Amino acid sequence: MNTEMLDELWRSWAERGAALTEEQWATPTRLPGWSVRALFAHVAPDPAIMATMRDARVTGPPAAANGSEILRIFNAPGGLAHTAADDIAGQASATAERIDTDALLRRFVEDGPRALGELGAIDPATVLPHPHLGAVTYQALLEVAIVDVTVHLLDLIAAVGGPPVPQATLRSVVQVLAAVADPADFIEAATGRSTSTVLPVMR
């Protein structure tokens, strides 16, 4: 279970944020309507949300057992990635406006890691409630979190520069994303045997 990878990613965001100028915080990113500050607000761990995971458990099978399954559902035609994109952007901007920079960065180095620690040695297969899918495994939530934080870290680097993402993290994200597509279609396209469009697999 990659809690250490997520923790390292959060700390990387905090270190990068601490070095930004006021002008860089306001820099537009390659995501239309998203500033660097909105990007930080979107990926910052929310302690209130993470606290709900500490004691909540769900019986029965999960809607998704891994991150790839969550992403496949979200990015299907009519999925949340399409229908809620504007709302997600709006929420990020609203959070960016109401929270000061120091408090925002503390979410990465204090709030998020503390919440992970409080979860303790939870079994990755533990089924937890999910606001959109009903129930998913803890492992699935972690994998999606790592993908989201990494993809947006690349957005941040494209906007204001900074050190590259560690290769181990990139390879981990590639494995999750590659599993979103239909396996046969992905292999056929990746080897030049098909002109079917399998990318992108997520927004």
Can you give the pTM of this predicted structure? 0.92
Rounded-to-integer distance, Cα 175 and Cα 112, Å: 24
Q: Are 143 and 173 in contact (CB under 8 A)?
A: no
pLDDT in tens, 167-195: 999 999 999 999 999 999 999 999 999 88
Mean pLDDT for all residues in the chain: 90
Residue pLDDT tens, the chain, 203 long: 578 999 999 999 999 999 999 999 999 999 998 999 999 999 998 877 777 776 677 888 999 999 999 999 999 888 887 887 777 777 867 777 888 999 999 999 999 888 888 877 788 899 988 888 889 999 999 999 999 999 999 999 999 999 999 999 999 999 999 999 999 999 999 999 988 888 899 87
Opening angle at CA 52, ends 49 and 56, nearest 5: 150
Helix pair angle (3-18, 138-160), 10° resolution = 30
Tokens of 21: 């100028």
Measure the CA–CA gap between 165 and 156, rounded to whole angstroms. 11
Residue 42 tokens, joined: 């979107």
CA-based nearest residue to 196, from 167, 39, 187: 187
